[in-house]
Amino acid sequence: MAKSEIDKWTTPEGLIQLEGWARDGLTDEQIAHNIGISTSTLYNWKNKKLEIVESLKKGKTVVDREIENALFKRAKGFTATETQYKVVPLDDELIDVRRRDYENKWKLKHPEASKQEIQDAAIKGVKTTRRIKLGLVEKEVPPDTTAAIFWLKNRKPEEWRDKHETELSGGLNVHNPYANLTDAELKKIAHEQK
């Protein structure tokens, strides 16, 4: 008996593939497209096979945690270690030796090439500088206020949301005193203000 499509994706290999797509940040719609099914079919599969749900959830959890950690780190600021380099010119004699060697090798691969083509290839193919590692330097990356605000708005929405509405006794909305009026009352006020 042939395996059904859903059974192919509940094998260990199929579940690893689903988890990997979820870990890569793909949405359910994108994962369904990769499988070659509709999104509604994927939702049906998730209702039928717990292992599919768990595999997708496991993959998404990893990425979500990585992003949360990166956002938290960026919001607080951090110390980064960078490798510093310096570019220095090579000695002219060394460049000439390397170019002659390059010319000889290039001439063997391209016997029909002209002398100018060989020289041009050597000039283009031989570096005239080199990068020297100077060492590691610690650098302070300051907190990112946008990341901090985003974090706080999501973690403490009651304290950090942009719009605060306060109700007075009688249910009057402070931000929109006309919110509880009927259409007739609004028309009357508009007519009186003319």
* pLDDT attached to residue 35: 95
Is 87:133 a contact under the CB 8 Å cutoff? no
DSSP states along the chain: -PPPHHHHTTSHHHHHHHHHHHHTT--HHHHHHHHTS-HHHHHHHHHH-HHHHHHHHHHHHHHHHHHHHHHHHHHH-EEEEEEEEEEEEPPHHHHHHHHHHHHHHHHHH-TT--HHHHHHHHHHHS-SEEEEEEEEEEEEE---HHHHHHHHHHHSHHHH-S----BPTTS-BSS-TTTT--HHHHHHHHHHT-
* pLDDT attached to residue 2: 46
> Can you give the pTM of this predicted structure?
0.47
Rounded to the nearest 5°, which phi and psi values hold at 113?
Answer: -70, 150
Count CB-CB contacts under 10 A for residue 30. 14
Query: Can you give the pLDDT of all 194 residues of the chain as single tens digits?
Result: 445 889 999 999 999 999 999 999 899 999 999 999 999 999 999 999 999 999 999 998 888 888 889 999 999 999 999 999 999 999 999 999 999 999 999 999 999 999 999 999 999 999 999 999 999 999 999 999 998 888 888 888 888 877 756 555 555 555 666 677 777 777 777 777 66
